[in-house]
Chains A and B, each alone.
Chain A
Amino acid sequence: MAAYLARRLVGLALVLLVVCAVTFAIFYLLPSDPALQACGKSCTTERIDMLHEQMGLDKPVWQQFADYIGGIAGGRTIGTGELAVRCDFPCLGFSYQTNRPVWDLLLDRLPTTVSIAAGAAILWLLAGLSTGIVSALRKGSFLDRSLMAATLTAASLPVFFTGLMALYLVVQVAEWLPFPSYVALADDPAGWAQNLILPWTVLALLYAALYARLSRSSMIETLAEPYVRTARAKGLPERTVVVKHGLRSALTPIVTVFGMDVGTLLGGAIITESVFGLPGIGQLTMDAINKSDQPVVMGVALLSAFFITFFNVLVDLFYAVIDPKVRYA
């Protein structure tokens, strides 16, 4: 198990390094100059040259990349002269526009995004799985067909449409809830939940529909396996057959997708955050893109790539724990 874990962690580091390199290439080889942005509108050629030198942009690309990686591993001082700034571990670059290290900006926004993603994930897992399982057990019944029609509808509704609909109906017309704003969990747990219930529901609706469809087909497929028939034939109670023999292996594809989805959302629930105006990583990304704050965009890209690959490894570890075949493959 330790060897397997080590192998997966090395793999994770390698993937992240490549993601770093690709991200770096995209942002630093494309035609837009961070020095020009830091300098502002009335900018002389001499000043640009000086800024290039101070920001380290005159160095060869590989050198800049090495500095960047070094910064992530152990912090660094970016630039020289009047623009020198200290950027501590893990240094993901410095945002000249906000005058803060990218990592600090990310840390500010992370709680909001984690709150949105975690709450929604719990909701959609519960709703999606139970719908899928009930449908699979009553395959072909009226209940199954209605549930599947409902999930098909929900899966076709984009979050920004359901979000606006929810804001209009629940906040504007019925006045059941206030317009969502972020309240820290530690400050006021009830307010935190009350403000987030709308974003959670809207986001979870889409995913619950997708998970219901996925778990239904996975469950039906598993229940048709010979070993399930054997379990029934030897007289096990239906509950044991469904939960222990059916659900357990039907969960496999769902766990894979769940890891991917949570990883992706942690990198910014961009649409949800922008509909409800919540200050998470997604909104940070959009602000940074609108202001061409490249170091921030790059930091977000890396952070979310990290979450995606990290959750992939977690999912694989989970398999390794429940299925010895994986460990020795």
Chain B
Amino acid sequence: MTTLVTGTAVEAVPTTSWRRLTARIWADRGARVGLAIVVLFVLLAILAPVISAMTGNGPNDFHEDKINKALGGPPLGAFGGISSEHWLGVEPVNGRDLLARILYGARVSLLISLLATAVSVVIGTLLGLVAGFFGGWLDAAISRVMDLVLSFPSLIFMIALVSVLPSGDRMLLLILVIGFFGWPYIGRIVRGQTISIRHREFVEAARAGGQGNVRILLREVLPNLLAPILVYTALSIPANIGTEAALSFLGIGVEPPTPSWGQMLQKAMSWYQVDPMFFVIPGTCLFLTVLAFTLLGDAMRDALDPKGSH
């Protein structure tokens, strides 16, 4: 999944052109579609309890009258039991409402991937800034650690860590573990950009003016890196949504009965022959969210790409 991010060289952009940038992003039709889908899913996730109350189906209410017990539990009715009561049908065996589970699952997917991205971005930005700005042994040490983390098979380590660590709070654990394996990507970008601007006139001017290192980093260097950081953030959200779903699919995501899309797909695997809607629905949601965030990230990158090569 990381290949989405590599090979995107985004230059630092002066903050004064923010308005032009947003205009350029808005002019991209893909970006508008992406934004619409993202907003839709975020709203659905936030409104999950409201919508669930409206339809009268909670995410964990069993509806055993909606399934065919004689056949081992497939939903009654066509298309996975879609009806006026259950807009997306019901889950096999226990008849839980798929719409409610999809909505609550959206909360899990979005929350974990957004917070994991935040973790990588914060660690990566801080360490990248320090490495690029101070250079010397600090840079060497941080760069080595980044190389090392990148040479770890991240999925296997995530699986191993999540399953070995005490799971007091599985969600927090997932956020930290996914976030941890993502920071070197942005760390490298920030480090490179910091090196390219640390000797620019405005930084020298600030130093000549007697400002301290921390102040220069936060007030002079960091604002100039916001653009590449934002692009990276936008592009790593879909990657993290995919990772969270993959971990849930492998059975080490959030613990049941809390729903998540990956976990629904895992359950659907043993039903794909009889009840294909059960995997099509969460799969489509996953596809749409990943697509939407990628469209947004692409548009941001294109707007910031000085060579206009995309």
Out of A19, A217, A289, A292, name the residue touching B151 (CB < 8 Å): A19
B290-A289 in contact (CB<8A): no
Question: Could you show 28 A-B contacts with beta carbons less than 8 Å apart?
Answer: A30-B165, A156-B287, A156-B290, A158-B286, A158-B290, A160-B283, A165-B280, A168-B279, A210-B3, A210-B4, A213-B4, A214-B7, A217-B7, A221-B309, A224-B307, A257-B3, A268-B153, A270-B246, A271-B246, A274-B249, A274-B250, A285-B156, A286-B250, A286-B251, A289-B159, A294-B164, A304-B156, A305-B151
A157 to B246, CA, bound (A): 12
B-chain residues with CB within 8 Å of residue A15 when the two chains form the complex = 147-148, 151
Out of B151, B273, B287, name the residue touching A157 (CB < 8 Å): B287
CB nearest to A309 among chain B residues: B151
Give the distance to chain B from A284, nearest Cβ to Cβ, in Å: 11
B148-A158 in contact (CB<8A): no
Size band of the interface chain B makes with A: 35 or more
A27 to B291, CA, bound (A): 37
- B residues contacting A by CB (< 8 A) are 2-4, 6-8, 147-148, 151-153, 155-157, 159-161, 163-166, 238, 242, 245-246, 249-252, 262, 265-266, 268-269, 272-273, 276, 279-280, 283, 286-287, 290-291, 294-295, 298, 307, 309-310
A158-B155 in contact (CB<8A): no
- Tally the A-B contacts, defined by beta carbons under 8 Å: 143
Q: Interface 1/0s, chain A 152-170, versus B by CB < 8 A? A: 1101111011001101100
A60 at the binding interface (Cβ < 8 Å): no
Give the distance to chain B from A154, nearest Cβ to Cβ, in Å: 10
Give the distance to chain B from A32, nearest Cβ to Cβ, in Å: 6
Give the distance to chain B from A242, nearest Cβ to Cβ, in Å: 16
Out of B153, B262, B269, name the residue touching A267 (CB < 8 Å): B153
A-chain residues with CB within 8 Å of residue B262 when the two chains form the complex = 160
B287-A164 in contact (CB<8A): no
B151-A155 in contact (CB<8A): no
- A residues contacting B by CB (< 8 A) are 15, 18-19, 22, 26-27, 30-32, 152-153, 155-158, 160-161, 164-165, 167-168, 172, 207, 210-211, 213-214, 217-218, 220-221, 224, 253, 256-257, 260-261, 264, 267-268, 270-271, 274-275, 285-286, 289-290, 292, 294, 297, 300-301, 304-305, 307-309, 312
B291-A270 in contact (CB<8A): no
Give chain A's interface secondary structure class: helix
Given contacts A172-B272, A224-B307, contact A308 B153 (CB under 8 A): yes
A198 to B31, CA, bound (A): 33
Q: Looking at B3, B245, B252, B283, which has the most chain A CB atoms within 10 Å of its CB?
A: B3
A-chain residues with CB within 8 Å of residue B280 when the two chains form the complex = 165
CB nearest to A15 among chain B residues: B151
A312 to B153, CA, bound (A): 13
A158-B153 in contact (CB<8A): no
B152-A19 in contact (CB<8A): yes
A-chain residues with CB within 8 Å of residue B251 when the two chains form the complex = 286, 290
A267 to B159, CA, bound (A): 13
B156-A27 in contact (CB<8A): no
Give the distance to chain A from B166, nearest Cβ to Cβ, in Å: 6
A167 to B276, CA, bound (A): 10
A286 to B252, CA, bound (A): 10
A-chain residues with CB within 8 Å of residue B290 when the two chains form the complex = 156, 158
A152-B295 in contact (CB<8A): yes
B-chain residues with CB within 8 Å of residue A253 when the two chains form the complex = 6-7
Out of B245, B283, B307, name the residue touching A221 (CB < 8 Å): B307
CB nearest to B289 among chain A residues: A156
5 new A-B contacts, CB < 8 A, other than A26-B157, A268-B156, A275-B269, are A15-B147, A164-B283, A217-B309, A256-B6, A301-B160
Out of B152, B160, B238, name the residue touching A27 (CB < 8 Å): B160
Give the distance to chain A from B232, nearest Cβ to Cβ, in Å: 16
Question: Which 6 interchain pairs have the tightest Cβ spacing?
Answer: A161-B283, A304-B153, A156-B291, A156-B290, A210-B3, A220-B309
